[in-house]
Amino acid sequence: MSVAVSVVVPVYNSQDTVKRCLESIAAQTFSNFEAIIIDDGSTDHSPNICDDFAITDDRFKVVHTKNSGVSSARNKGIDLAQGDWTCFVDSDDYVEGTYLENLMVNTKHVELVIAGLKRISKKNTVFVTFPEKIVGVEYRQFYFQEYPLSDSGYPVSKLFNRQILHENNIRFNNHIHMFEDVLFLFSYLLFCKKIKFCSHASYNYMILNSTLSTKINDFESEYLGFISIYNLLLTEYNITQTELINKYPALGFRVSRLMNRCISVLYLKSYPSNYCIQALQDFPKQAWGFFDQFVIPENIVKKVVKFLLVRRMFRISNLLLRLSYNLKR
């Protein structure tokens, strides 16, 4: 019998959580799956824990690689997957027993399945849910604005069709470390006709000092994330600047946050002035339009900086930004 689902589990130094994660996958009521564990060069006891677990359940396979990052680990899992569908579970997290069973209901005529999850922190648990609904990809208002996938673009709690992934060479970009999951999802969406949204939230997403968490990266990586999603929306989805502001403001807001983050990185990492000025000049001219619309300055200095930036007065902006960030140190 062919495998229905490949569960890809990237692991990096997760010795305190990975066993719980693997046990939750093994306990699924839907049993026709394979689990591909990609150990991304862990230096703790994670590799041994994974190897020992795989001995007890032949549905689990472990691949040890040199440390290359979570995107590379997920891509390796995609390459090795044999199931009709591919899903991801992070090693810090765990899933309920009916997780795969719920995802696999009524998947015959859809190309993507999206479910909710529980965001669990020390303070509280927040449920992220969707209505039970099958949506045509032409109904963009639903998934760009009403239930914006730009806010829930994480690869977990979703099913991806393996054939679409392979035929269109859809992979995570190893050079992007912020918003790379949304870029992956939106690239995949281009090849879908129908999306199934599920009302259940059987995935437990742990908010902690995650071993797979993001950090402030170099400007080149941050900018690549921004410009990749920006160009994808404008060229592949043919969304206009006006639509980002007026029709899909939830999406426009998220993209403007990426742009603002890129600018912050320039000064948090103390890049030279000439580099910063050139970097500001390299942002697409029209992008400053939704930057102006969505970025809300929190103090008078940032209000002045925003005023100067949207008018492309970059040399003065650079001076004020550099002074502002230096004073914070």
pLDDT digits (tens, 9 = 90+) for 14-40: 999 999 999 999 999 999 999 999 999
- Note the pLDDT of residue 327: 78
pLDDT digits (tens, 9 = 90+) for 238-264: 999 999 999 999 999 999 999 999 999
Q: Which helix (H) or strand (E) holds 204?
A: strand 203-206
Beta strands 85-88 and 158-161, pairing class? antiparallel
- Note the pLDDT of residue 208: 77
Query: What does the block give as tokens for 30?
Result: 């839907």
Q: Which helix (H) or strand (E) holds 306?
A: helix 300-310
Mean pLDDT of the chain: 94
Regarding predicted confidence, which is higher, 214 or 202? 202
pLDDT digits (tens, 9 = 90+) for 58-88: 999 999 999 999 999 999 999 999 999 999 9
**pTM attached to this predicted model:** 0.94
Structural domains of the chain, with CATH: 5-206 (3.90.550.10), 219-328 (no CATH)
Q: Which helix (H) or strand (E) holds 243?
A: helix 241-246
